[in-house]
Chains A and B, each alone.
Chain A
Amino acid sequence: MDTTTQIIISGLTLGAMYAISTVSLSLIWGALNVLNMAQGALLTLGGYAAYTASAALGLNAPLAILATVVAGGLFGIAMYALVVRHMLDREGFEVNVIIATIGIGMVLEAGLQKLYGAYPIRQPLTVEGGFFIGNVYVPFNSVIIVLTSAALMLALAAVLARTRMGRAIRAISQNRDAARLMGVPVELVYAQVFALAGGLSAASGIMLSTITTLAPTMGYDPMLKAFIICVVAGLGNVMGALYAAFLLGLFESTVQFALGVRFAFISMLLLVIIVLIWRPHGLFGRTRVTKL
């Protein structure tokens, strides 16, 4: 019983963190058909930005979080406006964007290491304390992570479903030319997508840094897992990404308890292979038939 509780709690916490990164990747893939390899660095940026805002600038927690999300959003916009925009619609742009965003990620990571040093720093926004369910200790921090992530995902789902901007994002990912004909300024919507993804990633980075520590490389592992989840869910499917993130979070924590931590990543990769053999477009993916 306690084991099950423990698995569920740590699985939900992992899932909540993966969910945001996965959804960010999925948003960008869905709208622009490119992979953002700087996702990991965006998480790291979020962690350090929150640290700076609360420790160095002395902002209170809500303000520090807000400033971090804004910083992430602005970085996303800058990435789009300065780099990605100039590569789109040229031949081979998918690969070019992958390489360019790897570069952006490396520069960002090196910059953060130069500024803050390579040693792990404790995230001051971590919430202390916790409670017991049976014999299992549940940190408040985990509860906050799960609730915040769920709230952010619900908000994003509402934006995508009901607002003019959200509809335009979905429309572009389904048919870019048709969206142009409807009067959608596609480049502006792309910038909005990058801002959303950047802001969400920064928020996710704060959460991540509260359960690990701040380090320049802290974004790598969650980014890889977010890619895995994206592939399992079907690239570009935002809601599917959300379900898959929690499923894989639970899967990972189950494997960690049953077989040991070192088998978690391997078994996630195995799962991807199995899913892709069984459903090449992912669990929630659909083949898109474009009719002329």
Chain B
Amino acid sequence: MTAPLLQLRGVEAGYGGQRVLRGISFDVPAGQVVTLIGPNGHGKTTLLRCVSGLVRLAAGEIRFAGEPISGGRAHRIVEKGVVHIPQGDLLFTDMSVYDNLMMGAYPNAAYAAAPQRLAEVFALLPRLQERRSQIVASLSGGERRMLAIGRGLMANGKLLLIDEPSLGLAPLVIDQIYEVIGNLKRHGMAILLVEENASRIIGVADHVHLLDDGKIVWNGTPAEMEANEDILTTYLGG
């Protein structure tokens, strides 16, 4: 049996003296969508920032494809194939759609393959092709989210970390975004998905972890989550 694509073991981290994550352990197997849900401000984003190397671990270890990546520099982790699509997109707002996508292909290997990747991203997200020379500041919220995902795909990664893809979008647009995520899953992409809204992930997630106060307090399949209503009401208020 091969090791899972991403392994977290006893991950602890925080800012200053404040411990935000208190011993997180779980796996993301290849080709699966693993979801982290939980109330705001309980460490979901911090956990993703730990994986992508923006936040240092205080304890524990993160392995990607069997290799330890915790403690590595962010740009090295991207080169290995872990791509973080951050909350609120963090696009380069004064640059064009095309320039943003090309920034996504910054690592050497991705840069060499950028023309093919660009064609694939445009096929998946045709709206971006229409807008390719527009400045990001002129895009709608939904288009920006699409661009953030497209920019993440340009890196040619093996694992996507997607942080709150539905944040601040209209329901109809959220549906479109989840359609894209479902599409990526069908193409075999492994995804670690953070979402506040538990109902969104049913249908796309293979496994759900509930993060509360820096700890995983429950995990199971989406079906088990639906059957176990008091968990949702306790932690997410229904």
- Footprint of B on A, CB under 8 Å? 164, 167-168, 170-171, 174-175, 177-186, 286, 291-292
Contacts and interface: CB of A to CB of B under 8 A. Distances in A.
Contacts of B93: 174-175
A167 B102 contact: yes
A180 B75 contact: yes
A174 B74 contact: no
A234 to B, nearest CB: 12
B221 interface: no
B88 interface: yes
Contact of B87 (A167, A286, A292): A292
Contact of A181 (B54, B79, B88, B94): B54
Given A168-B106, A179-B103, A183-B79, A174 B95 contact: yes
Contacts of A182: 78, 103-104, 106, 151, 155
A171 B103 contact: yes
Q: Classify the secondary structure of A's interface with B.
A: helix
Nearest to B155: A183
A168 B104 CA distance: 10
A174 B75 CA distance: 17
Nearest to A289: B93
A166 to B, nearest CB: 10
Given A170-B95, A171-B103, A174-B95, A183 B86 contact: no
Contact of B111 (A164, A185, A186, A291): A164
Nearest to A286: B94
Contact of B54 (A170, A175, A177, A184): A177
Interface string B42-55: 00000000001110
B133 to A, nearest CB: 12
A171 B75 contact: no
- Most interface-central of B75, B83, B88 (chain A CB within 10 A): B75
Contacts of A291: 88-89
Contacts of A286: 94
A92 B163 CA distance: 31
Interface in B68-97: 73-75, 78-79, 83-84, 86-95
B92 A170 contact: yes
16 contacts: A164-B102, A168-B103, A170-B94, A170-B95, A171-B95, A171-B103, A177-B54, A177-B86, A178-B92, A181-B52, A181-B78, A181-B83, A182-B104, A184-B75, A184-B106, A292-B87
Given A167-B102, A167-B103, A181 B86 contact: yes
